[in-house]
Structures are given as C-alpha cells and as structure tokens.
Amino acid sequence: MTLIFATNNNNKVQEIRNALDNSFEIISLKEAGIFQDIPEPHDTLEANATEKSRTIFNLRQMDCFSEDTGLEVEALNGEPGVKSARYADNEPEFADNIDKLLNKMKNQGNRNARFRTVISLIINGDEHQFEGICEGTITHHRAGTGGFGYDPVFIPDGATQTFGEMTMEKKKQYSHRAKALAKLTEWLKENRSA
C-alpha cells in the first residue's frame, strides 16, 4: 500500500523506509510535491502528530501518517519533550539543543530519559495512533556521529553505545520509532488485508 509520510525530516524517512518491508511504498512530502510548513502548535506529541497528518490529509485526501517524537528527561520533568526540536531556539548561550541539555544535566545524578514517538495514521479519513517508547539514559558527553538529533547523548537500556554510535540497523533494535512503526504495520495487516 502507498502512504504519504508527513514529515520534513529526512532522517525519519530513512529510518521508516529501512524498517518497513516491500509491501509499503512511502512517499515523502518532497516527493509528493508538498513544500509547505506543517504547524505543530500544541503541547502534546499526540496533538502535534494529529495536526501534521490532518494537514496533509486535508490537502490530498490520501492515506498518510505523521509522527511526533520527544526526548523526555526525568530530572527535567519531562523536558525537552514536545519542544525537542526547538529546545535551544532563541538561546544564543547554547551552541545547539544537545549543548543546552548537557548543561541542564550537569551535576545531575538521575540520568533517566526516554524517547517517545506518537504516530498518527489516517486511513479513509479515520485517525489511529500508535506509541513507541525507548527507555534509556543521558550521557555526560557526546559519542558517535550516526543518527540525528539527540542520538549522540542517549544510551538505550540494554545497550552500551549511544544511538549515535550505532548503525541504523542496530538503532532499530531498540528505537521508539521502530516500536511505534511495528504497531502501525501490525494494525494495517489486521485491518487492511486485501
């Protein structure tokens, strides 16, 4: 089946394609010729995921999905969470999002954190949500150049490397995104078998 993936993040497109089998054709926004910004005005991952998939469905009336992901750090009361992409915006004292995170976590003993992905799928105009969670810890320093976003400072439980030190194949064994996607494909197999 064919689905538009409502994201402007190419790393997400790569990871999702890598995790799906050949029965799915994923069309990125760029490939669909959609270049507009998609609003994410809400204060939950769920509401922003819905906003993104609805925006694209309203534009094209095609089956589509989106995902919103946040890094939720226990000692920071769930921050950066829904603000993960914009965490250090307008704060020139920080080089980037990771710099701000490591600064806030300086002298912090509790390093527990989790990535949470919420997928919003729209099939025939109806929305369905799927959640994937990956528990782990925040490191004291960056390690690795793989992945994207906060990957160099996050070690998933059960691993000894950061996501940034892993190949895409390895990250997939642990990742929030892969877990949410597995739920989506299971749902599609049960509900959309031709």
Among 40, 63, 72, 79, binds ligand ITT (CB under 6 A): 40
126 part of the active site: no
Contact window for ligand ITT (CB under 6 A) among 5-13, 54-62, 106-114, 183-191: 5-13
Count of alpha carbons within 13 Å of 29, Cβ hemisphere only? 19
Q: Which residues pair with 138 in a beta bridge?
A: 154
Among 130, 132, 137, 149, binds ligand ITT (CB under 6 A): 149
d(CA 88, CA 95): 8
65 Cβ neighbours under 8 A, 6+ residues apart: 3, 4, 5, 6, 53, 119, 120, 121, 122, 184
128 is in an annotated binding site: no
Q: Judged by CB, which is closer to ligand ITT: 130, or 150? A: 150
**Contact status: 161 vs ligand ITT (CB under 6 A):** no
176 is in an annotated binding site: yes
**Residue nearest ligand ITT by beta-carbon distance:** 149
Question: Which residue numbers are catalytic?
Answer: 68
